[in-house]
Amino acid sequence: MPIYVEKKPDVLIGEDGTRTDGRSPLDLRPIKIEVGILERADGSALVEWGGNRVLAAVFGPREVHPKHMLLPDRALLRLRYNMAPFSTPERKRPGPDRRSVELSKVIRTALLPAVFIEKYPGSAIDVFVEILRSDAGTRVAGVTAASLALADAGIAMRGLVAGCSVGRVDDFIVVDPNHDEDMWGDVDMPMAVLFEDRKITLLQADGPLTVEQFNECLRLGMACCEMVYELQKEALRRPYVMVERRALGVA
């Protein structure tokens, strides 16, 4: 028997568009990104997005095991999305399940167009996306973190991939739905965009939208992904800029 029972809030969205966490429909949650935080991985990134904590690590290009998976003309890009047992309100049974297999797949295919896999034939690039704390929108936070970890590993890419969700709560189109809106809202539409080409590499939706609503979601989602992209660029530059300042300050 679950000890913890979640309750639907009485009002998901106010008449003036105020959300359960006090945001307006077009506000993102606070996002903090750090790159290169794992010593032992070839590339890594931590994304703190609202209540989400997502850690991505990249190993490779490295030897392919098992050998029969080796691709002679390109790299094998593997991705594992995994939720920590303590990442949810109720303990999550460890190990892959239906949901995490699906998310591993969609995050992988969201990143695949960005990576020059043909530059690393016969090798494996392993990406691990670990959800330390979940609060709706972990897949888009995962894409955002994983693409930074790949860049940090020095793997050749066409560009960075930034993700963001949009959704519908009653008649409001809201960006970056929070946990309550994800659970009890009408639509959640996660998307990921490859910059700077602005090509959509991930698009899912789980509820009814009119054509007008869909177009509005797409427009807002693109704008949000661009905001996330700006944060990604800043985070990727930050360590180098800080070292430069310190080195020149001493000199």
Cα–Cα distance, 58 to 149 (Å, whole number): 6
**C-beta of 74 vs 133, nearer to other proteins:** 74
Would you count residue 64 as binding other proteins (CB under 8 A)? yes
Would you count residue 78 as binding other proteins (CB under 8 A)? no
Would you count residue 237 as binding other proteins (CB under 8 A)? yes
51: Cβ–Cβ under 8 A, 6 or more apart, which residues? 29, 133, 134, 135, 136, 178, 179
Cα–Cα distance, 236 to 134 (Å, whole number): 23
Would you count residue 160 as binding other proteins (CB under 8 A)? yes
Cα–Cα distance, 42 to 60 (Å, whole number): 7
Cα–Cα distance, 106 to 202 (Å, whole number): 7
Of these, 25, 61, 185, 190, which contacts other proteins (CB under 8 A)?
A: 61
Cα–Cα distance, 159 to 58 (Å, whole number): 16
Of these, 72, 95, 171, 210, which contacts other proteins (CB under 8 A)?
A: 72
**C-beta of 153 vs 174, nearer to other proteins:** 153
| Residues 169 and 209: beta-carbon distance below 8 Å | no
| Residues 96 and 127: beta-carbon distance below 8 Å | no
| Residues 72 and 121: beta-carbon distance below 8 Å | yes
Would you count residue 163 as binding other proteins (CB under 8 A)? no
What is the pairing mode between strands 172-175 and 161-169? antiparallel
Of these, 25, 43, 137, 177, which contacts other proteins (CB under 8 A)?
A: 43
Would you count residue 69 as binding other proteins (CB under 8 A)? no
Minimum CB distance to other proteins, residue 156 (Å)? 4
Q: Count the residues of the shown chain that bind other proteins, applying the rule CB under 8 A.
A: 40
**C-beta of 100 vs 144, nearer to other proteins:** 144
Of these, 44, 100, 104, 123, which contacts other proteins (CB under 8 A)?
A: 123
Residue 2 DSSP class: -
Which range touches other proteins (CB under 8 A), out of 85-93, 145-153, 167-175, 182-190? 145-153
Which range touches other proteins (CB under 8 A), out of 7-15, 88-96, 170-178, 240-248? 240-248
Would you count residue 152 as binding other proteins (CB under 8 A)? yes
